[in-house]
Amino acid sequence: MNKQFTIAQKIGLMFRYDEDIPQDMEGWIEHQLQAPSPALGIAKTGASVTEWPDELQPNLAKRAGMWRRYRALKKQQREGKNGQDTEAARQANRHENLMQEKDEHKFVQRNAYGADQVKLRLTSFWANHFTIGNTFDTGQLIGHAIDEGILAKLNGSFADMLYGITTHPGMLTYLDNVWSAGERSEKAKNCRRKPDCQAGLNDNLGRELLELHTVSVSAGYSEDDIRAAAQVLAGWGIDFGEELSTMRKRTGSNNHWNAYKKQWAEPGPKKVMGQTIYAGRSGLRQLTDFLASHDHTINHISIKLCQHFVSDSPTKAQIESIKSVWHQSNGDLHAIHTQVLKLAINAPDAKFLWPMTWLFQVVRLSGATYFKGWENTHNYNNKLMHTKKVFEELGQSFWSLRQPDGYSNDKAEWLSAEMFERRVRFAEAIYVNGGTRRSANKIMDRIGAAEQTRALVASVGPSPKDQFITLMCSPELMGLEYV
């Protein structure tokens, strides 16, 4: 591939079939990192690309209101009241009040149409690092966490992103923190006096904060450190289904992203990995700042960044250079990202692509309209599957129920017949149902495909469909090596 497409493949989503190709790639990267990032998409098939409407991007308060309404109607449905127990009413409730399918649809459309391809790749990396799996009650929140907790914070410090995502209601719900209470908290004390009252510590988020989000097991922390981190976290967050009045009463706040329940908090200072953390709301920021600048955190995440963007088997020197920028810049994400991208475009080796990244690239290169417009998120279409279903079948989605360690950055984890069969099938489905605007030959001319790729595509005969499938499943387009 020519230089522009080689770079766009590694650190972006490829230039769309009709997009201008920049000459100055370094300037382009800097512009990509800084430019505003509207969510682009289409209202319906054939419509021009515009920004997603505001009403489909509700804030947290609106999402909470929809969630309460969803649950109230669900209750009526169970009780057979107000005509809610019909299939039509059940569907209407889901479509009107649940955000998960709409959010996933928006994420997918902006990846297909967005002008901010580099930011979108970085967003996926961090959204995966800070995985919020879909346990249904988090479905209402995952999209908001990705947009406001990750994408909006790409140019700040890692410490800000860490604190923001740790306190996001999506994370606090996914890892059970909204139900956790300090062992010596007022809540736990009161509870002990009542029969059938449960209140106590849940260490799920404390554990993953250390193990996955920051220092990793290499830091050699103890079970006591995990418990202490959980005690620092106790009190943060509130069940998203609670009435607003209850939230105000317990937290003194109207904001779900700043909900701290004093009664649930553990009194007194705590010690996490040798660091004393003071009691109260500000203790968490103290803890996440301490963890954000820890050597083991920097090492752990530098390796992950390298493996995701630079090379399937990164060298020590590459990892060290990211660590060094991280230290020098005090964890400034813009500086860190710039260094990662620089390494990526200078690394000669192929870089394997996640299934979702590959799918977006196939759609962009070919100009296919493979996803429905936002007016039709829930409508049946003979050709285009529900967006949610596409990614279920692909085997990768940020809206699936997944483990908190997220999707692997290790190529070996993705090499299987079933996963490869999906690539063949999706290449076909996009060709057959997506109304592709560019043939395999046109695409190869535009990207400056390698001789081996041209030979491989020629070897399968004259069928344009077979040629398209072969091109998209070639080593060059999958980020793999040639024979």
Partner 1 sequence: MSKLIPGRRNLLKAGAASLFLAGVPIAGLAKGKPPGSISVIILEGGMDGLATIPPVGDPDLMRMRKAISPEGYLPLNDFFGLHPSLKFYAQLMARGHASAVHATAFPYTKRSHFEGQNMIEGGGLSPFSEKTGWLGRALDLADVAGRSLSLDMPLILRGHHENDNFYPASIRGSSRPKADLVNMIAMGHKMEAAQIFTKVARKSEENVRVPRDPASLATYAGRAMAQADGPVASVIRVNNFDTHANQVEEGDADAGRLARQLVVVDDVIAGYRRGLGKAWDDAIILTLTEFGRTVAVNGTWGTDHGYGSVGLLAGGTLSASGVIADWPGLSKKDQFEKRDLMATIDYRSVCAACLEKALGIDHDLIASQVFLQPDLPRVFDHLFA
Maximum CA pair distance of the chain?
79
Q: Is 415 in the site for partner 1 (CB under 8 A)?
A: yes
Q: Which of 188, 129, 173 is nearest to 154 (CA)?
A: 129
Q: Based on CB atoms, which residue is closest to partner 1, 159 or 230?
A: 230
Among 223, 245, 348, 462, which residue sits at the site for partner 1 (rule: CB under 8 A)? Answer: 223
Q: Is 88 in the site for partner 1 (CB under 8 A)?
A: no
Q: Which of 197, 196, 476, 202 is nearest to 352 (CA)?
A: 476
Q: How far is the CB of 435 from partner 1 (least distance, A)?
A: 11
Among 416, 445, 448, 464, which residue sits at the site for partner 1 (rule: CB under 8 A)? Answer: 416
3-state secondary structure of 115: coil
Q: Is 359 in the site for partner 1 (CB under 8 A)?
A: no
Residue 50 DSSP code: E
3-state secondary structure of 397: coil
Tell me the site size for partner 1, rule CB under 8 A: 64
Q: Is 209 in the site for partner 1 (CB under 8 A)?
A: no
Q: Is 426 in the site for partner 1 (CB under 8 A)?
A: yes
Q: Is 459 in the site for partner 1 (CB under 8 A)?
A: yes
Q: Which two three-digit tokens encode residue 126? A: 């961090």
Amino acid at 190: N
Q: How far is the CB of 350 from partner 1 (least distance, A)?
A: 10
Where in 161-190 is the site for partner 1 (CB under 8 A)? 176, 179-181, 188
Q: Is 66 in the site for partner 1 (CB under 8 A)?
A: no
Q: Which of 96, 17, 57 is nearest to 368 (CA)?
A: 17
Q: How far is the CB of 155 from partner 1 (least distance, A)?
A: 30
Q: Is 149 in the site for partner 1 (CB under 8 A)?
A: no
Q: Based on CB atoms, which residue is closest to partner 1, 40 or 472?
A: 472
Q: Which of 320, 400, 304 is nearest to 356 (CA)?
A: 400
Q: Which of 197, 198, 140 is nearest to 172 (CA)?
A: 140
Among 22, 367, 395, 435, which residue sits at the site for partner 1 (rule: CB under 8 A)? Answer: 395
Q: Which two three-digit tokens encode residue 17? A: 């079939």
Residue 267 DSSP code: P
3-state secondary structure of 161: helix
**Chain-centre distance of CA 395, in angstroms?**
15
Q: Based on CB atoms, which residue is closest to partner 1, 163 or 352?
A: 352
CA distances from 288 to 23, 251, 361, 433 (A): 41, 21, 36, 47
Amino acid at 194: K
Q: Is 451 in the site for partner 1 (CB under 8 A)?
A: no
Interface residues toward partner 1, by CB under 8 A: 176, 179-181, 188, 191, 196, 198-204, 207, 211-212, 217, 223, 383-385, 393, 395, 401, 403-405, 412-422, 424-426, 428-430, 432-434, 452-453, 456, 459-460, 466, 469-470, 473-475, 478, 480-483
